Structures are given as C-alpha cells and as structure tokens.
Amino acid sequence: MLSRLATYTLLGIEALPVEVEVDISPASLPKTILVGLAEAAVRESTHRIERALVNSGYGRPVDRVVINLSPADLPKDAAALDLPIALGLLVADGQVEAAEEFSESVFVGELALDGSLRSVRGVLSMALAAREAGRRHIVVPAANAQEAAVVDGIDVIAVGMLAEAVGFLTASLPLTPVPFSWEQAREEYGRYDIDYSDVKGQESAKRALTVAAAGCHHILMIGSPGTGKTLLSQRLGTILPELEPEESLETTRIYSAVAQLEPGQPLMLRRPFRAPHHTISEAGLVGGGSIPQPGEISLAHHGVLFLDELPEFNRRTLEVLRQPLEDQRVTISRATGSMTFPSSVMLVAAMNPCPCGFRADPRRQCTCTPMQIERYLSRISGPLLDRIDIHIEVPPVPFRELSDTNSGTSSSVMRDQVRAARDRQRHRFRGEAHHVNGKMQARQIRKHCRLSEGAAALLKNAMDDMGLSARAHDKILRISRTIADLDDSEDIEEIHLSEAVNFRTLDRSFWQQ
C-alpha cells in the first residue's frame, strides 16, 4: 500500500517542499529502504521511528518498506522528517486511515524513542513556505508551536506525542490551532533591562552613537581599557527603533534555522547584538560549511555586530566583511550552487590605541615602541576603515563624573531623537530602495545631500587637508545628512558638516600622532 505526506526540509534558511512516499509490499522479504539523498540524520531515523511506533502502541511493519523522499536530488539533512515518515508508515501499513480533509496538511517533527516530539530548527521558514504554497495546516512539535503561530493565514497544530499527530491525521482527535499575540510577545521578549543612564560620563560618545543609530552608520571607538566602549556598544539596541514585524520575521528565520531561539521564544523582538570573539574564523563570521549556514554577520541582521579588540582579529577574516557591509548580503558559493544570506547590520568596532592600551592616556604611561604601534594599527586595512562611517576617541572618565550621583543621558532621550530622525528619513526616501542615510547610494547622495555654500567650502578644505578618499567624502555627506535630520534641518549647514568631519578625522590624525 502506498501513502504520501507533505513536509519541508531546510537548506540554509530556506524551507523547500518534500513529499514523503511510503510503500509497503507484504509479499517481499522484510527490509526497510530509504532513498532520496538522505543525509546521516535522516538515514538513522528509521531506527528511531520503529521504536517510537512500538512504544506508542502501534505495530512495526515487518514487510518490505520503501521510503522515498522527493525530489530525489535535494539533500535532506534534518530529523524533522521523522513525523511524516512515521505517519506514512502507519497509513501504508493499514493501521490508520488518513482523513481526506488533511491531505493538504504539512507535518514536521523529530521523534524520541517514547513517541514524544522534540523541537526542530527552521519551523518559521517552513510555516511561511507552507502558507505560500496554500496549505491549510502545519503540524509541529509543541515546543515550536508559538514560533510557527506568528505566520498568519495557516493553522498551526501543536502536538506533543505521536499519538496526538495520529489522532489529528485521522480526525479522531480535534485539535485547535495555536493562537499568537504580538502584544504579549513584545511585553515578554521585547524589553531591555539595560540603559545608557548606567554609563557614567562619555556624553560625546553617546552623541556619536545617537548619530550612528539615527542613520544606521558603522562606528569605530578607540580608547584605553576600561573607558566604557563595551558598555556603550551593548546598549545601542535600546535606542534603535523597534523591530518592524517584517524585520522580526526575517531575523527570526535566521535564528530558527540555526536553532538559537530561546526555548518557548516565538520571535526575535529585540534587535540582535552579536559579539564574536577575535579568534573567530572566516566561516564563523560570514557563514560557510558544506551545506552553508549563516555566520555572525547574518545572525546580527537588523541589529548590531560588535567587534571588540578589532586589531586582534585575523586580518583576512576582517577583509571578508568588506563586501557584505556594502551589499547587505552574503553569498556563499559551493560546487552544488550558491546560497545568499541577509546581512543588514550596524557594525560597531572597538579597539585600544596601541598594544598596551595606554597611548594618549593622561594617567598611565604607554610602553609600546613606535614600531609596535605601527604594526598594531596596520592590522586594519584602509579599505575596511573607509567603510566605517564614524571614528571617535573614547577617553578615560574623570573621577568627578564617575562619582556623580546624577545619571547621564538616558536611552529614552536618545531613542526619541533617533526615532524623530528615522521618521524624517522614511518620509524622504519613500518609494526608494533604502530608507536610512547610512545606506544611501551615490544617486541618493546627490539628490538629498544639498550643502550650503559655506558647508561646500568646508568640505573641500577637509578633503584637501586630510587626503580623504571618495568613499570618505560620501561618508561625510551621509553623516552630515543624519546630523541635519537630528536638528530637523532640510539643508546641511556648516555646523552639521563640521561635526561630521570631526567624526572622520580620527582615521587620519589619530594614526599619525
């Protein structure tokens, strides 16, 4: 007897449809054959499924069983196929009869030996794909139910045991779709327990971070150890706009595909903050593997990628960031094809001014030789530095500021400024590809970055005196546009351009000190 059930397999972060066909031949020698380019996790599933059937009270087929996973040329590498294979075996063996109304349902889940269902990765992508394909239901493990339920237009059925899935398939056990509330999820998973008021002093750095957040600009902070660079970076998400529903879904798909959602968490509702260690490999940073998986830059999609101790990273590893920062996507090519992951991030980098960390620190003496300093700073290439919009120095905090009982600028004040500037940009760029100043293309810069006569003269002098590149010229205009937006100014005035140039002087004058 032949049975067919629909399911999905994950390739990167994309869910691709798979049809599970099970054929049982009573007159043949007992044997189970699994075909369809199944990887190790799927090939081993037959043993799990057989014991799960027996331990759930069903009979194990003792005839010749052929399980085909179609399409045959698509790699299948996940235990999420356990549930549809188990149900297919029961239907093909005549132990249960599937109700006609559920012929268009999708089944996903990994089975334990006792018949319980374990969570699987990529359920959000599968639910989205099932909705696009016009499926009515998707049956998922109870642990993944909230994650799938965020998708409108398809009923999500949560099951905890194989017997429950059988009851749903045969229409003998009515199960209601899982509801989802965005408001409840935001209340539980969208709050921050940190604030910029926790950071004493560093008001100039907070101003630079406000500008960076308002225009989605990359930023580099240079300062001695203990000046607060990490604290400042960790709180950047508290002033960024809330994730829009579409952004939240895009980010959650990535985390779901690599199984990094917290247990029970339905969505990413706070902007990601990723801080990889400086020993990370190229594949760990941008993604890789025989079947490519997203790396840290994609896990930071719509959020912050924080690279602490920037010169300690392998230079070749840093260089692979250059293209993703420009294109906002990562393409990984393999012999069997290529895969693209999104990587729209804010890059926040921090570094010491020298190997010992105390160069230009008024309280401590630097012990580094000029050659050591030059070698240390040369680990960061000029092209990568040019792609970082804002460079600032983070000085040590004086004792009087550390001991001041008054809190500094809070996240709420900075967030209001950022939100107002983002609203102006959204209005300005309506109908265009990019909606933030930091992502403006050359055509948009010419259109939207009008300079007053004095500002134009100031920019010319800065270019001549500092020897800035054409990319740095565009960066200054983008930053100036953001500063003008924070001041609610339609045109870029001298004061706006002067502050923007000040954010770019560090990459020239600082290195030459």
pLDDT tens digits along 92-117: 999 999 998 888 899 999 999 999 99
For domain 196-433, give the CATH number. Answer: 3.40.50.300
CA distance from start to end of the chain? 81
Instruction: Report the chain's mean pLDDT, rounded to a whole number.
Output: 91
Lowest mean pLDDT among 12-16, 47-51, 144-148, 460-464: 460-464
The pair of three-digit structure tokens given for residue 258, joined into one six-digit string: 């690599």
pLDDT at 377: 85
- Enumerate the CATH 1.10.8 domain ranges in the chain, comma separated: 440-513
pLDDT band at 290 (very low <50, low <70, confident <90, very high): confident
Structure confidence by residue, pLDDT tens digits, 336-365: 678 899 999 999 999 999 999 888 788 888
Nearest residue to 325 via CA among 341, 351, 345, 310: 345
Q: Which helix (H) or strand (E) holds 400?
A: helix 399-402
Predicted confidence (pLDDT) at residue 507 exceeds the cutoff of 50? no
Predicted confidence (pLDDT) at residue 509 exceeds the cutoff of 90? no
- Enumerate the CATH 3.30.230.10 domain ranges in the chain, comma separated: 2-169
Lowest mean pLDDT among 28-37, 42-51, 379-388, 500-509: 500-509
Rounded CA separation 288/124 (Å)? 22
pLDDT at 392: 92
Nearest residue to 215 via CA among 240, 251, 248: 240
The pair of three-digit structure tokens given for residue 416, joined into one six-digit string: 């209001």
Rounded CA separation 320/346 (Å)? 16
pLDDT band at 506 (very low <50, low <70, confident <90, very high): low
pLDDT band at 510 (very low <50, low <70, confident <90, very high): very low
Judged on CB neighbours under 10 Å (0-12, 13-18, 19+), 146 is: buried
Inter-residue contact 332 to 287 (CB < 8 Å):
yes
pLDDT at 511: 46
Inter-residue contact 5 to 87 (CB < 8 Å):
yes
Name which CATH class applies to 2-169: alpha beta
The pair of three-digit structure tokens given for residue 410, joined into one six-digit string: 């809070």
pLDDT at 284: 94
Of 29 and 133, more confident: 133
pLDDT at 253: 96
Structure confidence by residue, pLDDT tens digits, 35-67: 998 888 888 899 999 999 999 999 999 899 999
Inter-residue contact 506 to 395 (CB < 8 Å):
no
Task: Determine how β-strand 14-25 pairs with β-strand 106-107.
Answer: unpaired
Structure confidence by residue, pLDDT tens digits, 386-399: 889 999 999 988 87
Inter-residue contact 228 to 194 (CB < 8 Å):
no
pLDDT at 508: 53
pLDDT band at 513 (very low <50, low <70, confident <90, very high): very low
Structure confidence by residue, pLDDT tens digits, 130-178: 999 999 999 999 999 999 999 999 999 999 999 999 999 999 999 999 9
pLDDT at 471: 78
pLDDT band at 505 (very low <50, low <70, confident <90, very high): low
Inter-residue contact 427 to 496 (CB < 8 Å):
no
Which fold does the domain 440-513 belong to in CATH? Helicase, Ruva Protein; domain 3 (1.10.8)
- Enumerate the CATH 3.40.50.300 domain ranges in the chain, comma separated: 196-433
Rounded CA separation 233/193 (Å)? 15
Mean pLDDT across the stretch 12-22? 95
